[in-house]
Amino acid sequence: MRLRNLKNTYELINECDFLVKSPDEYIGKWKSLFNNDHPIHLEIGMGKGKFIYEMALNNPDINFVGLEKYDNVMARAIKKMPNKLPNLLLLNTDALNLKYIFNHEISAIYLNFSDPWPKKRHELRRLTAKPFLDIYDNLFVDEKVIIQKTDNIGLFAYSLHSLSMNGYQFKEVSLDLNNTDIPNVTTEYEEKFIKEGIKINYLYAIK
């Protein structure tokens, strides 16, 4: 997601009291940060944060963590969020660092409209490539749940293959999410695609 720099990116991030500044200090201790032992769900690449904020608002018994690597995107997300929520924390880092941040503490991972990296030479950057799946393995409490939405059929096909090669099974797969009765909170990208009549691919994978 390319955005022009927000003037006060640094201030927005630095002053946000629900963005965890040194997340590696909490490895193994996220329960204490949330002050309860509710399950923790993680969105990787939250963009401007509509999805994670609404999910947290609608599901007070689940804790949510929104991860976004670009600080100017994160700053916009913070600016858009109306309030701090007790069950929502944000992380401004790359997904590659997740191995230093959570140790068997996550119950579900959402990948919404992740960058497709269509070129073969960029395959390992896709968030469902094996090196990422190996990192995710150590984040999950026990049962591993990955939920993906994408407009990009190439990334979707790749994910189905990569997830199944890595031991996942599929509870749901749809090539047209909006023509199913699967409950759905939309993301910013998704709203745009729906307006353009583009179908949304959806998978719910379990290991």
- The verdict on 113 binding ligand SAH (CB under 6 A) reads yes
Give CA angle at 70 (68, 74), nearest 5°.
60
Sorted by sequence, the CB contacts under 8 Å of residue 56 that are 6+ apart come out as: 62, 64, 85, 87, 88
Q: Which of 18, 33, 38, 69 binds ligand SAH (CB under 6 A)?
A: 69
Amino acid at 155: L
* Cα 69 to Cα 170: distance, rounded to the nearest angstrom: 28
| Site of tokens 């119950």 | 107
Of the residues 24, 94, 115, 151, only one is catalytic, namely 115
Binding-site residue total for ligand SAH (CB under 6 A)?
Answer: 20
189 is an interface residue for ligand SAH by CB under 6 A: yes
Name which of residues 146 to 185 contact ligand SAH (CB under 6 A). none
User: CB of residue 82 vs ligand SAH: minimum separation in angstroms?
Assistant: 18
Q: Which of 89, 116, 145, 188 binds ligand SAH (CB under 6 A)?
A: 188
Known active-site residue 115: yes
> What's the CA gap between 73 and 92, in Å, rounded?
9
- Label residues 126-143 b or e (16+ Cβ within 10 Å = b): bbbbeebbebbeebbeee
Q: Candidates 7-15, 41-49, 82-90, 172-180 — which segment interacts with ligand SAH by CB under 6 A?
A: 41-49
The yes or no reply on residue 94 touching ligand SAH (CB under 6 A) is yes
Contacts of 196 (CB under 8 A, 6+ apart): none
Among 20, 46, 101, 108, binds ligand SAH (CB under 6 A): 46
Residue nearest to ligand SAH (CB): 45
Q: For ligand SAH, give the closer residue by CB, 36 or 192.
A: 192
Contact assessment for residue 195 and residue 205, using Cβ atoms and an 8 Å cutoff: no
Q: Which stretch binds ligand SAH (CB under 6 A): 4-12, 26-34, 68-76, 152-160?
A: 68-76
108 binds ligand SAH (CB under 6 A): no
Q: How far apart are CA 98 and CA 41, in angstroms?
A: 13
DSSP 8-state class, residue 102: -
CB of 189 to ligand SAH, least distance (A): 3
Catalytic residues: 115
By CB under 6 A, name the binding residues for ligand SAH. 1, 44-47, 67-70, 73, 94-95, 112-115, 187-190
